[in-house]
Structure 1
Amino acid sequence: MKVKRYVANSLPDAMSRIRDDLGDTAVILDSKPIKHGGLWGLFGKQRFEVIAAVDHGVEGPRLKQHRVERDSPQDGLKREIESIKQMMEQWMYTQQNDLPRPFAAVETHLKRQHVTDDVIASLFRNVQPRIRDIQNADEKEIYSLVAGEIRERFEARVGTPLSVGSGPKTVYLIGPTGVGKTTTIAKMAAVYVLEQGLSVGLIAADTFRIAAVKQLKTYADILNVPIHVAHDPNEMKEAKEKLSHCDVVLVDTAGRNYRQKMNVSELFAYIQHSDQAAIHLVLSLTMRDEDIDAVLESVSSIPVTHLLLTKADETTSYGLMLNLVSKTPYKLGLITTGQNVPDDMVEADADQLTQWIMEEVDGNA
């Protein structure tokens, strides 16, 4: 593989040079604005550094074999287009060195909420055409437009995770260690049994933590529902067959380090051949963006259907929710707000989520 660094006055100029030099099969590995000249790089002219590569037939390490085998050429193209789109979003954002004051105030707030630069840029780009005089726009107008844009994004992605009907019969909760999967399973079971009057079965597949199995068995006794323990994929299949009479089967999977391929492969073995299944990826709102991205990349071969966010009561920064719906195709389902079973859990609501993110701007909601 040939890797080269390019510095150009603009991204289009860099892309043109890369195509001329490396051909149409070149892949962009990284790009960022840099300052050229000036004092310590400050006040200098802005240029762009782009790292590109082309494969001349030498096969690299197969670190993502499980994903490559499942991806079609169209999937690879979609990922590359999305990567370029995000790169352009961030580049456009860096051009807004002198944001009009109303935009700057909203930008400051969104950054405090940990909304990423590319998402902020896309929000501003979408609302700008609706403003007649950007330089003299009223701050409340900008706030209202940005809040409306955020609300629309949430509305397009909010699901109905607790609705059964003719929907999924088996519900898996997957996610890294410590995000609260076991407690959330108990909350979901309580809602199905106590509020919806459904028959529920539980499967404890987190056999790496004895406490997790014991905790789930305790909740099963309280709710008077059957529970089975699955130590391997075969036992998982047997457990589901034994619980086939139930309206809903909830599966608590092991919290593992998904950066290790073996752990992801084991997880996939547990959930494959599951008809009418919903797979909720459980993430904590206290996690860092970098860790979230690592988890999303690691489980990309898993057919996730919903995002389930926990520990909303342990943070005051809710921008992660907006970042997630902007970077994933999954429905946003349940959000937990504490440890109490079954009370501290709500279905995602676009108005509420928007308020959590925007409520401090000028005291508005």
Structure 2
Amino acid sequence: MKMKKYIASSMATAMKKVQADLGDDAIIASSKVVYSKGFLGMFKKKSFEVIAGVERADRNEMLYPSKPIQKPIMLDSKVPEDKTNEIKQELADLKKMMQSMKHQSASVQYPDELSTVIEKLEYQEIDPELITKISDELFTVVKNSKHNLTEQEVQELAKKQISYLLKDLPFGGISYQKKYINILGPTGVGKTTTIAKMAAHAVLKEKKKIGFITTDTYRIAAIEQLKTYANLLQAPVEIVYSRADYEMALLKFKNLDLVFIDTAGRNYKEVKYIRDLEQIIDIEKNVENYLVLSTTAKERDMATIIEQFLAFSVEKLIFTKLDETNTIGSIVNLMVKYKKGLAYYTNGQEVPEDIEEGSVKNVIDLLFQGDNK
């Protein structure tokens, strides 16, 4: 059997090269992590080296055409007995080696305990590039471990890898460092209900005096809903149609601790609605901006919304309707891609319940939910 060496930046990429070159019958002889020499001994680059071959003769002939095809050796009386025994032993050893490598190849691609974790991340719809990044790091640890790691141990390592990916992002709810809380987002994501939950927490837990401003003059139902919540919290509401109305509302609320701004729910994939909003709200004036997205939406659509709102200096996202989906990988994908933190996530319609502050631990628990039940 002819063997060939493959070097790639990730184990997954190396295995794809092997499969493309040698086909599904490829046999993995060995795999290891290698480091290239860096500048002045630093900045070493990690790669994955895989040595593989194929058992089928016709495949070898295609891969190595420069080698002449040898005629098979006939084990007859013309071959000395000692030579015959030697050839038989070599064939037996080769067959044993190939069977061993066949058994090994399945586990080398990714060990069972690692494959289980990868499947969980795939089920949660984590971005394939992130999965590759996480699994390659885990593969290195598993291969270099002095003992066989259990599935639970590998899962804990995966959680640490995800924590590392999220460690520099901001987490947690209202900071109470700024007076105006601007809640942005498209129609249908549950902005008004989310605002009510945040406001109830500020009143009941933090004992803040609050008020509401709404720019959602397009939907009477939304205004009435906000007024209902405001009455329950004994908070004033101002409806604004223009920048002048907005400035007047700020004056009326000058003695309040916190003011929640409920923006109009529109199709914010269209730039003109963003421009309309900028004409009314002063986003630079002591404002914390939060962007609300629904986990039931397509990730591509949510990405478009985030890009449209980049001008509003949104640091943290709010994700709603987690109770209506089985996967939350899009939360992680979007946070990592756009370097946005997580303020809150909601998992029901009850006010003030069904809202949780974002944290790295909460995100990881959601990804692996069910494992500790």
User: Shared topology, TM-score over 0.5?
Assistant: yes
Residue 174 of structure 2 is aligned to residue 162 of structure 1? yes
Alignment of 1:150-189 (within 5 A): 150-164=162-176, 167-189=177-199
Identical columns (%): 32
Residue 363 of structure 2 is aligned to residue 348 of structure 1? no
C-alpha distance after superposition, 1:35-88 (max 9, x if no partner): 9x98xxx97xxxxxxxxxxxxxxxxxxxxxxxxxxxxxxxxxxxxxxxxxxxxx
Q: Which residue of 2 aligns with 1:107?
A: 118
C-alpha distance after superposition, 1:263-316 (max 9, x if no partner): 111122233353221100001111211111121222222211211111122122
2:318 partner amino acid:
L
* Deviation of the 1:356 alpha carbon: 1.5
TM-score normalised by L of structure 2: 0.67
User: 2:355 and 2:196 mapped to 1: Cα distance?
Assistant: 11
Q: Which residue of 2 aligns with 1:146?
A: 158
- Number of residues paired by the alignment? 281
Partners of 1:158 and 1:350 within 8 A in 2: no
Structure 2 SS opposite 1:335: strand
C-alpha distance after superposition, 1:302-334 (max 9, x if no partner): 211211111122122122221122112222111
2:156 partner amino acid:
S
- Which region of structure 1 is more displaced relative to structure 2, 169-178 or 267-276? 267-276
Q: Which residue of 2 aligns with 1:90?
A: none
Structure 1 SS opposite 2:259: strand
Change (3 A) 1:128 1:233: farther
Partners of 1:312 and 1:335 within 8 A in 2: yes
CA radius of gyration, larger in:
2
| Ranges in structure 1 where 5+ consecutive residues have no aligned partner | 1-9, 13-33, 44-95
Change (3 A) 1:364 1:226: closer
2:280 partner amino acid:
Y
341, 349, 353: which is aligned to 1:339? Answer: 349
User: 1:119 and 1:233 mapped to 2: Cα distance?
Assistant: 43
Structure 1 SS opposite 2:211: strand
Q: Which residue of 2 aligns with 1:234?
A: 244
Partners of 2:345 and 2:358 within 8 A in 1: yes
When the two chains are superposed, the root-mean-square deviation of aligned CA atoms in Å is 3.2
User: 1:115 and 1:212 mapped to 2: Cα distance?
Assistant: 34
Q: Which residue of 2 aligns with 1:291?
A: 301
- Which region of structure 1 is more displaced relative to structure 2, 102-111 or 125-134? 125-134
259, 270, 274: which is aligned to 1:264? Answer: 274
User: 2:8 and 2:301 mapped to 1: Cα distance?
Assistant: 29
User: 1:268 and 1:189 mapped to 2: Cα distance?
Assistant: 23
* Deviation of the 1:136 alpha carbon: 5.8
Partners of 1:158 and 1:348 within 8 A in 2: no
- Which region of structure 1 is more displaced relative to structure 2, 351-360 or 333-342? 351-360
Q: Which residue of 1 aligns with 2:80?
A: none
229, 233, 241: which is aligned to 1:223? Answer: 233
Structure 2 SS opposite 1:301: helix
| Ranges in structure 2 where 5+ consecutive residues have no aligned partner | 1-6, 10-15, 25-105
